[in-house]
Amino acid sequence: MLKTLLAACLAAGLTLPGAVAQAAKADEPIVIRFAHVVTDDTPKGQGALLLQKLVAERLGDRVKVEVHANSSLVGDAEELAALQRGDVHLLAPSLAKFEQYTPKLKVFDLPFLFDDLAAVDRFQQRPTGRDLLLSMSQHGIIGLAYWHNGMKQLSANRPLQQPADARELSFRIQSSKVLEAQFAAVGARSVKLPFAEVRSALQGGKVQGAENPWSNLYSQQLYQVQPYISETNHGVLDYMLVSNARFWYGIPHEIRSELEAIIDEVTYAVNQQAARLNAADRERIAASGKSRIIALSDAERAAWREAMQPVWQQFEGEIGATVLRAAKAANRSAQN
Ligand code: LMR
């Protein structure tokens, strides 16, 4: 995999050494700034801290990982540009946020495409999913791993049981045309807002609904300003751990190999724990009494699916039939 990444970067004309030359001076640790937009007690937040800890233990004074959580250094609207400039070195944006760099990752935003997180995981681990880690190399962005958060739920200021209940409501969305189309498909409006602004936008009435996994609903206290959460599991919110290719390949080989081994270990831990963290946050929200969790019957969920599924055709051309087929196939555990 790493050889393939290297080859892709070379093919894209990226100069490998140099970008971190000053950081790699023998007597100074390489500083890796890892910025993200969620709190420490989420799957991504925990992953960033584990990465920092393992790097401190194993690479001692050669590498230092700085973690900047909860949009404290840079928000999601600017973080990828900051990565390209080299102001930050590791990010794990939601897969919905790469739209301007590749259309292929839009596959992850398609509503009701993946049956569950296990299907998402299979797609990410199979060759087509692994190849997507390289889909932004012409922009100098390399994907190092997929990290799970979880399946998204719909929250609103009124109960959403049927698709028609969403009509005319405004939902906060991540910056994604697929998500815009998904809400348009049920007659709702959508407003693209940075993650750091979601709570205040819901509280102030700028938008009346949102879609989030349980961990984001809990850690950003969105459940306190959304009286109803429908358990739709209608899509996935996962991440790609990315770096700036020039920075990454400028790290001396021996250190980079150790970093990549650590990332594999952290990825395994994040992906093992994400479902458990989300389940615990769901229970906390249920126990808070602040928000009513609405279960959907099979027929109700099928109605949401039927209303939103036409979005697949709308984006199939951009995503590519092969990628879409591989994603659908991941709903089965056997490959054929
Ligand atoms: C969002 O903007 O809703 C998410 O991408 C935030 C995150 O990183 O989980």
**pLDDT of 56 strictly over 80:** yes
pLDDT confidence of residue 15: 41
Q: For position 4, what pLDDT does the model report?
A: 45
Reported confidence tier of residue 334, pLDDT bands at 50, 70, 90: confident
- Torsion angle in degrees (nearest 10) through CA of 94, 308, 271, 227: 80
Whether residue 38 has its Cβ less than 6 Å from ligand 1: yes
What pTM does this model have? 0.93
For residue 18, what pLDDT band results from cuts at 50, 70 and 90?
Answer: very low
Tell me, in angstroms, the distance from the centre of ligand 1 to residue 210's CA: 11
The two structure tokens encoding residue 45: 């937040």
Q: Is pLDDT at 1 greater than 90 in this prediction?
A: no
Give the mean model confidence (pLDDT) for residues 41-68. 97
pLDDT (0 to 100) of residue 335: 64
Ligand 1 contact via 94 beta carbon (within 6 Å) = yes
The three-class DSSP label of residue 262 is helix
Question: Per-residue DSSP letters for 45-81?
Answer: HHHHHHHHHHHHHHHTTTEEEEEE-TTSS--TTTHHH
Distance CA 41, CA 149 (A): 12
Which CATH code is given to the segment(s) 153-236+279-335? 3.40.190.170
C-alpha distances in angstroms, 208 versus 13, 162, 168, 295, 301?
46, 16, 10, 20, 21
Fold matches, 2-98+118-148+238-272 and 153-236+279-335: yes
* CATH code of the domain occupying 2-98+118-148+238-272: 3.40.190.170
Q: What is the pLDDT of residue 24?
A: 52
Residue closest via CA to ligand 1's atom 6 equals 195
**Residue 156 β-bridge partners:** 209, 228
- For a substitution probing ligand 1, which of 40, 71, 76, 212 has the most ligand atoms within 8 Å of its CB? 76
Residue type, 101: Y
- pLDDT tens digits for 75-100? 999 999 999 999 999 999 999 999 99
- Residue 211's H or E segment, with its range, is strand 209-212
CA 155 vs CA 9, 169, 239, 278, 299: distances in Å: 41, 11, 21, 15, 19
User: pLDDT tens digit string along 127-164?
Assistant: 999 999 999 999 999 999 999 999 999 999 999 999 99
What b-and-e string marks burial along 115-131, b requiring 16 or more CB atoms within 10 Å of the CB? eebebbbbbbeeebbeb
10 CA → ligand 1 middle, Å: 31
Mean pLDDT along residues 237-266:
98
Are β-strands 189-192 and 228-230 bridged in parallel, bridged antiparallel, or unpaired?
A: unpaired
Q: Is the CB of residue 97 less than 8 Å from the CB of residue 38?
A: no
* Gyration radius (Cα) of the chain, Å: 20
Asked if pLDDT for residue 12 goes beyond 50, the answer is no
- Would you kindly state where each structural domain of the chain is located, as residue ranges? 2-98+118-148+238-272, 153-236+279-335
pLDDT tens column, 261-308: 999 999 999 999 999 999 999 999 999 999 999 999 999 999 999 999
Instruction: Quote the pLDDT of residue 186.
Output: 98
pLDDT of the residue at 248: 98
Q: How far, in Å, from the CA of 7 to the mean position of ligand 1?
A: 31
Which pLDDT value is given to residue 20?
58
Cα–Cα distance measured from residue 256 to residue 89, given in angstroms and rounded to the nearest whole number: 13
Average pLDDT, the chain: 93
Pairing of strands 63-68, 228-230: unpaired
